[in-house]
Structure 1
Amino acid sequence: MSAALGTAPVRDLAAATAATTTVSRAIGPVLATATVATGLMSGLFFAFDVAVMPGLAAGDDRTFVTAMQHINASILNPVFGAVFVGALAMPAVGTWLLHRSGRRAATLWAAVATLLYFAALVLTSAVNVPLNDRLAAAGDPAAITDFAAVREAFAQTWTTANIARTVLCTAAAVALTRALLLHRGSSAR
C-alpha cells in the first residue's frame, strides 16, 4: 500500500508537467493567430481611412451613399465575421494561457491588446453600426430624394469613429506583437 501511495505524487507531477507543456505549446500559435487577426482588422480600418473614404469623398452624394450601402452589406460575410470575432477571442485566450503559464509581462501585454480591441468593438457597436443601419434604412438609392442629407448624417461621424478604431486596433496589434516576443523570449530560455 505504501508503494502505491509513493507513486501518486510522481504521477500527479507528470500530469501537471504535461498540462503545462500543452499550455506552453499552444501559446505561440494562439498569439500569432491573434496578432494576424488584429492586424487584419487594423488594416481593414486603415484602408477605409486612407483610400475608401477619401475616394468616396471625392465623388458625388449619390455615389457615396450607394457605394457605402453596398460596402456595408457585402462586408457582412463569414470571413469578415470570423476575423472580427477572432480578433477578440484569440487575444483573450492568449491572455488566459499566458496567465496560466506564469508569464506575467506577456500576460499584461496580451490583456492590454484584448482591452484595446474590445474598445474598438464597443466603438463599432455604439457608432459605426448604428450609422450603417441608418444608411441602410435610407432605402434603395432609386427612392432617396436627398442624398446630401443622407451623406451628411453619416460621413463625418463614421469616418472619425473609424480613425479611432484604426488607432485602437493598431495599438492592440502592437501589444500582441510585444506579448508574442516576450513569450518567445521566455520560451527560448
Structure 2
Amino acid sequence: MAITHQSLSMLRLTAALGCGLMAGVFFAFSTFVMPALARLQPSQGIGAMQSINITAINPFFMTALFGTALACLGLIGSVLFKWHQPSASYWVAGSLLYLVGTIGVTIAFNVPMNDALAVVKPDDGADLWAGYLTNWTLWNHVRTVSSLAAAALLMLA
C-alpha cells in the first residue's frame, strides 16, 4: 500500500509543479512577451510570433504542457478509488481547471489563432495581427489564471 500512496503523492506533486510551471510560462507571455511584440511594427511582430510558435513545438514544452495534463487525468482517475478523502475534491477541481482552462483553451483558441497567423506573410498581415494580439493575449490570460489556480488547488490538496 505504501507504493500506491507514494505514487499518488508523486503524481500530485508532478501535477502541481507542472501547473505552476505552465502558469509561469503563460504569465511571461501575458506580462512582457506579447506587450513587447505589440511594440514592434506588425510585420516584425508577426515574424517574431511565427518563429516563437514554431520553436514552442519542442519536447520540453510539449512534455510540460501535456505531461501535466496526463498527471491531472491520472489524479482524476485515482479519485475514483479515494473519493472519501477530504482532499479529493481539490484534486478533481485543480485537475479539471487545468484540463479545461489550459489545455481546452489552448486547443480551442490559441492554436487556431497560431495556425491562422502561420500562413500570413508578415508584410500582409497588419489587420490580422491587431486582432491576434488582443484575442490571443486574452485567452492566454485565461490559461495563466487557470494554471495558477489549478496549481494552488493541487497544493492545497
Alignment match, 1:46: 27
**TM-superposed deviation, 1:105:** 2.0
Total equivalences in the alignment:
156
Mapped contact 1:37–1:87 kept (Cα < 8 A) = yes
**TM-superposed deviation, 1:28:** 1.4
Q: Which of 164, 167, 173 is the matching residue for 2:142?
A: 164
Instruction: Give matches, 1:22-171, under 5 Å.
Output: 22-101=3-82, 104-119=85-100, 120-139=102-121, 141=122, 144=123, 146-171=124-149
Q: Which of 177, 180, 184 is the matching residue for 2:155?
A: 177
Q: Percent identity of the aligned residues?
A: 32
Determine helix, strand or coil for the equivalent of 1:154: helix
Mapped contact 1:92–1:110 kept (Cα < 8 A) = no
Question: Which gives a bigger RCO, structure 1 or 2 (Cα 8 Å, sep 6+)?
Answer: 2
Gaps of 5+ in 2: none
Equivalent residue letter for 1:59: L
CA distance in 1, matches of 2:149, 2:115: 28
**TM-superposed deviation, 1:43:** 0.7
**TM-superposed deviation, 1:124:** 1.0
CA distance in 1, matches of 2:83, 2:108: 35
Mapped contact 2:72–2:99 kept (Cα < 8 A) = no
**TM-superposed deviation, 1:40:** 1.0
CA distance in 1, matches of 2:84, 2:13: 16
Runs of 4+ with >6 A deviation: none
Gaps of 5+ in 1: 1-19, 180-189
Structure with bigger gyration radius:
1
**TM-superposed deviation, 1:59:** 1.5
Mapped contact 2:23–2:148 kept (Cα < 8 A) = yes
TM normalised by structure 2 equals: 0.91
Mapped contact 2:82–2:88 kept (Cα < 8 A) = no
